[in-house]
Structure 1
Amino acid sequence: MQGNERMQKSYMGGCLCGAVRYELIGVPERLYACHCKECQRQSESAFGMTLLVKENGLKVSGELKKFERISDGGNRVTAYFCPNCGVRIYGIPRYVKGIFSLKPGKLDDTSCLRPAAML
């Protein structure tokens, strides 16, 4: 799944404790491996994977907790987490309207993940 390609089915995912589940429906916009400081902090690694999906292409079940802060770059960062296990489910990037930033490692099947670009 690189984005901008036809998906043959929906994809399911969720948090570690199972309290939050989601379904990704439709065609994702793009999958990136990003090396910016913000993505490094979120992933606790050298890079973070981000799957951009349309707002109406993500169906979430379960309660979410919202967290907002100002990034080092001065942008507001809004993210939604499982209140039980703390796993980040998605964020709302300020640079694109109507798009969610999903952490694709929470998909039940990650074998289809192929980044379109390294940033």
Structure 2
Amino acid sequence: MQQFEGSCQCGQVRYRVSGRVATLFACHCRDCQRQSASAFGMALWLRDAELTLLQGVTASWPRHTPSGRITDCQFCPQCGSRLFHQNRDTPQFLSIKPGSLDDTGWLRPAAHIWTQSAQPWLALPAEVPSWPQNPDDFAALIAAWQAAPGDCRG
């Protein structure tokens, strides 16, 4: 089990989460671009996660994804920073928005998804697996993480 701590942008919400890292990937879908106000969003999936709010409370709303799934999104009600996502059809995974972690120096995506929506100026690394949309099976994202060099996995 690994343990991580982080917070929202304004500091009203602090959290600690422990679990086993399943994968870390970048998503280039338009929803993630809008949510992150950037070229892509990132997702750090933890298996069997235990989340403890150390300070504050989160608000949540259900988001309908481009693939038809429903994702419950938790965010700070004060500053709006997204912190966690959980797909209703894969409850064994908690997705952390990894930019909210206190230590982000080790973050390197093991895969890229929804590259058909990627910004044309962004050069994706050729050695990192990518998919134009979601992979057929999310096990492919987990396998990409397991195949990544050890220095990419924190």
TM-score range, shorter chain: 0.7 to 0.9
CA pair 77-97 structure 1, distance change in 2 beyond 3 A: closer
2:21 equivalent among 19, 28, 32: 28
Query: Among the aligned pairs, what percent are the same residue?
Result: 43
Give the number of aligned pairs: 112
1:98 to 92, 96, 121: 92
Question: Residue 77 of structure 1 corresponds to which residue in structure 2?
Answer: 71
Q: Does residue 56 of structure 1 match 2:49?
A: yes
After TM superposition, the structure 1 stretch with the greater mean CA deviation from structure 2, 23-32 or 84-93, is 23-32
Aligned to 1:67: 61
The 1:33–1:69 alpha-carbon spacing in structure 2 relative to 1, beyond 3 Å, is: closer
Choose 1 or 2 for highest CA Rg.
2
User: Whose RCO is larger (CA < 8 A, sep 6+)?
Assistant: 1
TM-score, reference length from structure 1: 0.80
Q: Does 1:43 align with 2:36?
A: yes
Residues 49 and 94 in structure 2, CA contact (< 8 A), matched pair in contact too: no
Describe the SS at the equivalent of 1:46. Answer: coil
Higher helix share: 2
Q: Does 1:113 align with 2:107?
A: yes
Give unmatched runs, 5+ long, in structure 1. 1-5
Please give the per-residue CA displacement for 1:27-57, whole angstroms capped at 9, x wherever unaligned.
2111001112222222122211110113533
Residue 114 of structure 1: CA displacement?
A: 1.6
Q: How far did 1:72 drift?
A: 4.3
Query: Would you identify which runs of 4 or more consecutive aligned residues in structure 1 move more than 3 Å?
Result: 71-74
What does residue 138 of structure 2 align with?
none
TM-score, normalised on structure 2?
A: 0.64
**Structure 2 alignment gaps of length 5 or more:** 114-154
